[in-house]
Amino acid sequence: MKKLIALLFSGFVATAAVAQEAPDVLVQRVTEEVLEIVRHDKDIQNGSTNKVIDLVDKKVLPHFNFQHMTALALGKEWRKANPQQQQQLTAEFKTLLVRTYSNALTSYKNQKIVYKPFKMAPADTDVLVRTEVQQPGSKPVQLDYSLEKMEGGWKVYDVVVAGISLVTNYRDQFGQEVRNGGIDGLIASIANKNKSLEANQKK
């Protein structure tokens, strides 16, 4: 599941012009663009986590609404955080997602992405783009994107893998952390996890 999430989570490479395209066109174009990079980048193929992280930092982050993603992951606990804490939580959660899944791109082989038919009304501001990952020797896996229309274009605020939401999958864990140590305890917990992931990726 992590590899599948990472594969498409890391697929949003786009120019400003592409950001104004329809959401399904955006998903398809940027996914194919980043996979083309991965196919031909020897460092990534050889397992360069740092290079993948750099790719994600520079190309992916502008196309995700991490504040909305963090609010979804926390659920009702989000309202307990003050603005400064919300900013810290968003930053740490973004780092967690990037560090947790960035190295999975190095395991990409020749999975095929099938883009499902898409319809939307001109006034729609919240849509679901459905895709399927086909892997040799394995069952296809449904991979869907929730996007919202914002001032700067369409932004992804959730990824659903085989019916499981990426962001709400954290909700129980984060809720327990808040109950045990408050919002500051949750921030510290995510920060410690990020430090651990960073240390492991440097080995």
Question: What digits encode the pLDDT tens for the residues 168-181?
Answer: 899 999 999 999 99
Residue 9, pLDDT > 80, answer: no
Domain 2-202 has CATH 3.40.50.720: no
The alpha carbon dihedral of 149, 150, 154, 155 has a sign of negative
pLDDT band at 92 (very low <50, low <70, confident <90, very high): very high
pLDDT above 90 as % of the chain: 44
Q: Given this model, what pLDDT does residue 161 score?
A: 86
Q: Where are the domains of the chain?
A: 2-202
Q: Is 143 exposed, middle or buried (0-12, 13-18, 19+ CB in 10 A)?
A: buried
CA distances from 25 to 12, 16, 22, 160, 195 (A): 11, 14, 5, 18, 36
- Type and span of the H or E element at 146: strand 141-150
pTM: 0.82
Quick one: average pLDDT of 153-174? 90
Bridge partners of residue 154, in order along the sequence: 149
Query: What element of type H or E holds 133?
Result: strand 126-134
What average pLDDT does range 182-186 have in this prediction? 96
Residue type at position 91:
A
pLDDT at residue 38 above 60? yes
